[in-house]
Amino acid sequence: MTQRPSRHPHPAARGLATASVAAMALLALAACGSSESTDSSDSSDSTGSASASAANASSAGSGAAQVNVTMVSGSDGDECQADTTSAAAGPVTFHVTNQSATGITEFELLSGQRIVGEKENLAPGLPEVSFTVTLGGGDYELYCPNAATEKQAFTVTGEASANPTGGPTALLAQGVKDYTDYVNVQIESMVTGVENLQKAIDSGNLSDAQTAYAEARPFYEKIESDVDGFLLPGADPTQNKGNLDYLIDMRASNLDPKVGWTGFHAVERDIFGREKITATTKKYAANLTKNVKELAKIGKKLTFKPEDLANGAAGLLEEVQANKITGEEEAYSHIDLVDFAGNVEGAEQAFVALQPGLAKIDADLTKTIAKRFAAVDKLLESYKDSQALGGYQRYTAAVKKADANTLSQTVQALQEPLSRLAEKVATAG
């Protein structure tokens, strides 16, 4: 039997994708939802009245409070402007429009580290998009990465959501559902991202293509532990030519001559390394879109176990160490820190989804992991640059030489406690 070349010089502890793939309803706009958060493109039928301090968040006749968020280009940089920063507990619909902010492409509603709702691929001039979440009273944040002011406090008045109840098994099961919703949103956004990349390449505009590349990459990085090893229908599992992960994310360092160049990094080589778009580049982009759509068909049917989330989070951090900090991943564009941030977000959302159950299993370990995720997040913040592709500094040779050791040590401090989670959640009773 022919052995497939490994994607990774140090194979990550993969495992988020389970052997069983069952059909499930796609919650198209859900983003890491929970009993507190139910995301939908339609307004909820539940009734929620805005308080006096949230008069602008009107019910619009649907029972859901309304919040309008507009992205604009200002004299001090791009801004996200919300017409209210408060709403009453209950269903809340966020309407998001990018009028002119070229540096902002996403909007998120955060509850602590957890992404409650989000919208991606928000280029200027596109139609308004919306999502609805059911919120309990408490403190949230409106988050627009790369805005002059990235985070704004958002207060929900009224009764807070009940704390998660039940034993560890029930809490972990709810966390798995929440994470599945998060993955589905990333899959949809990934498809849109590569479609935008293909359109930019087909137009022949090199600058637009480079921007679209940087915007499309994070979606794959957030969930690559989930989709590693997926095959085209009828493909030989021992051959790279049918392995979707390989076809989408292959690099020069693991090139299989029998397959040849394809995927993200073939496009990257042309538009960053060669700085030109050719007929071959357009074929690369079209094949990338085709393969990502094939992967999405499988990914939307994923089912997980709690240990899959734990193993996958650990695997994503191994990806950071093996391919991002080394600078191997983005050899031509040098947007490795964009990929780094994507891997970290995916790992953190898996952890946050399991956190209520984990706290009952090992409270001290859970607090340690949360603290060390916060340290990684803080370090990543220091590399943000709203003017750079993807919103992070280029990972040049000089940055790598100066900072690789610090980046590696900070991630390693998180890896050690995180590596102990899979066994704990797998044996929870």
Residue identified by tokens 């979606």 is 219
Regarding predicted confidence, which is higher, 138 or 255? Answer: 138
Q: Which CATH number fits domain 52-162: 3.40.50.2000, 2.60.40.420, 3.30.70.260, 3.40.228.10?
A: 2.60.40.420
Regarding predicted confidence, which is higher, 60 or 197? Answer: 197
With 50 as the cut, is the pLDDT of residue 10 above it? no
With 80 as the cut, is the pLDDT of residue 140 above it? yes
Please report which confidence band the pLDDT of residue 322 belongs to, taking 50, 70 and 90 as the band edges: very high
Regarding predicted confidence, which is higher, 58 or 331? Answer: 331
Regarding predicted confidence, which is higher, 60 or 342? Answer: 342
Segment 196-208 shows an average pLDDT of 98
Q: What's the confidence (pLDDT) of residue 184?
A: 93
With 80 as the cut, is the pLDDT of residue 33 above it? no
How open is the CA angle 134-138-144, to the nearest 5 degrees?
75
Segment 4-31 shows an average pLDDT of 37
Segment 201-228 shows an average pLDDT of 95
**Do 147 and 386 form a contact (C-beta atoms < 8 A)?**
yes
Element (H or E) spanning 143, and its range? strand 138-143
Task: Return the domain boundaries, the chain.
Answer: 52-162, 169-426
**Do 367 and 336 form a contact (C-beta atoms < 8 A)?**
no
Q: What's the confidence (pLDDT) of residue 28?
A: 34
Q: pTM, whole model, 2 decimals?
A: 0.81
With 50 as the cut, is the pLDDT of residue 413 above it? yes
- Condensed to tens digits (0 to 9), the pLDDT of residues 251-303 reads 988 889 889 889 999 999 999 999 999 999 999 999 999 999 999 999 888 89
Segment 111-115 shows an average pLDDT of 91
With 70 as the cut, is the pLDDT of residue 228 above it? yes
Q: What's the confidence (pLDDT) of residue 62?
A: 57
Share of the chain above pLDDT 90, in %: 72
Residues 6+ apart with CB under 8 A from 19: none
Which of 73-77, 138-142, 144-148, 260-264 bottoms out in mean pLDDT, i.e. has the lowest? 73-77
Q: What's the confidence (pLDDT) of residue 208?
A: 97
Q: What is the DSSP letter of 26?
A: -
Exposed / middle / buried, residue 363 (Cβ in 10 Å: 0-12, 13-18, 19+): exposed
Exposed / middle / buried, residue 61 (Cβ in 10 Å: 0-12, 13-18, 19+): exposed
Share of the chain above pLDDT 70, in %: 84
The pLDDT mean for the chain works out to 86
Q: Look at the domain 169-426 and name its fold.
A: A middle domain of Talin 1 (1.20.1420)
Element (H or E) spanning 426, and its range? helix 421-426
